[in-house]
Amino acid sequence: MVPTGAYGTWPSPIDAVLAASHDGRPEFLGMIGDEVWWTAPRPTEGGRRALVRRRADGAEESVLPAPWNVRSRVIEYGGHPWAGARRAGGGPLVVFVHFPDQRLYAYEPDAPEAAPRPLTPLSPVGGGLRWADPQLLPERGEVWCVLEEFTGEGPTDVRRVIAAVPLDGSAATDRGAVRELCDDRHRFVTGPRLSPDGRHAAWIAWDHPQMPWDGTVVMLGEVSEDGPFGGVRPVVGDTDESVCQVDWAPDGSLLFVSDVSNWWELQRVRPDALGPGAGPGFVPGTGLCPGRGEEFGGPLWKIGLKWFHPLENGLIAVIHGKGTTALGILDPETGELVDAAGPWTEWASTLAVHGDRVIGVAASPRSAYEVVELDTRTGRTRVIGSAHDDPVDPVYYPEPQIRTFTGPDNREIHAHIYPPHSPDRIAPDEELPPYVVSAHGGPTGHAPLVLNLEIAYFTSRGIGVAVVNYGGSTGYGREYRERLREQWGVVDVEDCAAVAETLAAEGTADPARLAIRGGSAGGWTTAASLATTDIYACGTIIYPVLDLMSWADGETHDFESRYLESLIGPPAEVPGRYRERSPLQHTDRIAVPFLLLQGLDDVICPPVQSERFLAQMAGRGIPHAYIAFEGEGHGFRRADTMVRALESELSLYAQTFRIVRRDVPLLELKK
């Protein structure tokens, strides 16, 4: 007989150390010959990103030892940080961005006494020189990249262009040896994609105040031997149309993903519409798989994300779905789409192709992200890297429920509900469980339906978790995304509240033991919820936005520096809205305990906002704790940080919900 135990008191083999060690996922796949390469998290190695190589015989190895950290800071969220090719008659050549100095390095791992050598110089100005989305062209002796160059000390004193870096190292100390391939007419650009005949390059560009999920254009330029791109012109996209990826088909057609139909869908422009005599200006695309009511793309939070990849035979590998995603093979001539078999419910926005092989990164509610290969000849899938290995008996994992709730104005709200679950305990019949409502970041983000040991950390102890894809989330079309336009701090707060209230009203959750938590934009939603509702007994606020006026007035990085114009409204036109929505202006309304977690190196949501918030709360008698982590930026990466953060969060809930737990350090709550 299974023993009875109150919710929140259950023992669990999933401790914070275990959850932290499994944080992060493989990213940025690529092929070098027939080898698959990617970057992988190393929480126990200072949170660095390792470059991993899977040899043709299946052996998996880390290419660069610590402290090499393969990660870009372009737009602060980064982008594809490496590229590789096989030398003629030799081993691989890799170029990569090293996080601490943001220089681009070249490395030949199979060469005798190999060591990375710098390709780009340092700059003493502002944030320096940064690189992302490299396209390696050994035949030209160059690597083409996005160059982000600071021109002053301010976070918005920056320009971005596409640049060619010589592989011979001549630019390592000479900025003048870097050849700019386009001008800086646009504030943001992605890396170029070279046409099959080598005559054209295509890339995506956009400008403030648009974010890339608001409006982008595809630029087309003619490639010259040693000069900048010629005849540069926009061909598709607009300020109210988001193109999130562009590439070339083997026949020279331009492929791109656009949301002009409400959904991000794959489209094609034939070569004759792009070639000589086509004329300037925009050209219409043809939908390759229209009318499905699914996303074939997503938000461009990082430079170089991929939701499709052409194959040599003309077929196209695509990631698609509504809420959850699948990997499919699309025939662009017939529109036929065949999905890969397997248990995976989420495919990350990265793909690689070699011949008939398609490689992606996928996860499910029972497995973490792993590298998966699809053989398009046989239709078979197999895990080939970062294979999921259950660190505990999977009977301790929660069983998620995909639910749609009803919010104000009868609008749909998508959420994943994770009830408390353990094989070792059952709760008393008369007791209702505590629940934590989780708001994802972004806010133009999405909470995937995958195994998350941080969620299991709570559910296996008897605390339920409700993960809300509130209005503004991606994965459900542009209309759902734009519910948050000028409504940040309203729709997100209302949607989380509607989920919490419904769970309480239906008897799923204890209405007196509801909490809310979130990081970044989710931290904003958490703080705003505590200041404007009385639903929650406590909250965990993680590297949040708290002060809108300061955030809009230079207190964040360039990429999001004008994001609030769409989320709140133009500051000059609605200044009162900025004051009314900011949690900093309403600390007098916060009446429940909270935990505030902050990285001291965060340039996106800087610690000064948290410090001002705490100063406003001082002397009010509200129990709270503040933990600031040295060496952490926006998004915790170090194992020791994540352990302390998770244990502190559990301690907050235990104290607030009057749960006795002696297996985590007591969080000291000050008043």
- Identify the band that residue 281 occupies on the pLDDT scale cut at 50, 70 and 90: low
* Beta strands at 435-439 and 514-519: parallel, antiparallel or unpaired: parallel
Please check whether residue 33 lies inside any domain of the structure: no
Type and span of the H or E element at 496: helix 491-505
Please check whether residue 208 lies inside any domain of the structure: no
Q: Which residues, other chains included, contact 109 with Cβ-Cβ below 8 Å and sequence gap of 6+?
A: 53, 63, 91, 92, 94
Say if residue 620's pLDDT is above 90. yes
Which domain range does residue 600 map to? 394-656
Please check whether residue 357 lies inside any domain of the structure: no
pLDDT at site 271? 86
Partnered with residue 439 across adjacent β-strands are 468, 518
In this prediction, residues 358-366 reach a mean pLDDT of: 98
- What does the DSSP assignment read for 130-158? EEEEEEEEGGGTEEEEEEEEE-SSSTT-E
- Identify the band that residue 287 occupies on the pLDDT scale cut at 50, 70 and 90: very high
Please check whether residue 75 lies inside any domain of the structure: yes
User: Which residue reads 């239709």 in tokens?
Assistant: 379
Please check whether residue 553 lies inside any domain of the structure: yes
Structural domains of the chain, count: 2
Nearest CA to 324 out of 339, 311, 334 is that of 339
Q: What are phi and psi of 611, to 5 degrees?
A: -65, -40
User: Which residue reads 């040991």 in tokens?
Assistant: 453
Nearest CA to 93 out of 82, 109, 78 is that of 109
Among 149, 180, 211, the domain boundary falls at 180
Residue 343: CB atoms within 10 Å:
11
Say if residue 188's pLDDT is above 90. yes
Nearest CA to 374 out of 363, 387, 365, 383 is that of 383
Query: DSSP alpha helices (H): ranges in 511-556?
Result: 521-532, 548-552
Write out pLDDT tens, residues 528-575.
Answer: 999 999 999 999 999 999 999 999 999 999 999 999 999 999 999 999
Please check whether residue 104 lies inside any domain of the structure: yes
pLDDT at site 1? 86
- The CATH number that applies at residue 494 is 3.40.50.1820
- Identify the band that residue 88 occupies on the pLDDT scale cut at 50, 70 and 90: confident
CA dihedral (209, 211, 213, 219) positive or negative: positive
Say if residue 279's pLDDT is above 70. no
- How far are the Cα atoms of 143, 306, 559, 610 from residue 74, in angstroms, in the given order? 17, 17, 9, 25
In this prediction, residues 35-46 reach a mean pLDDT of: 95
Write out pLDDT tens, residues 486-528.
Answer: 999 999 999 999 999 999 999 999 999 999 999 999 999 999 9
Say if residue 275's pLDDT is above 70. no
Among 163, 180, 197, the domain boundary falls at 180
Please check whether residue 48 lies inside any domain of the structure: no
pLDDT at site 276? 58
What is the residue-averaged pLDDT of the chain?
96
Among 147, 180, 213, the domain boundary falls at 180
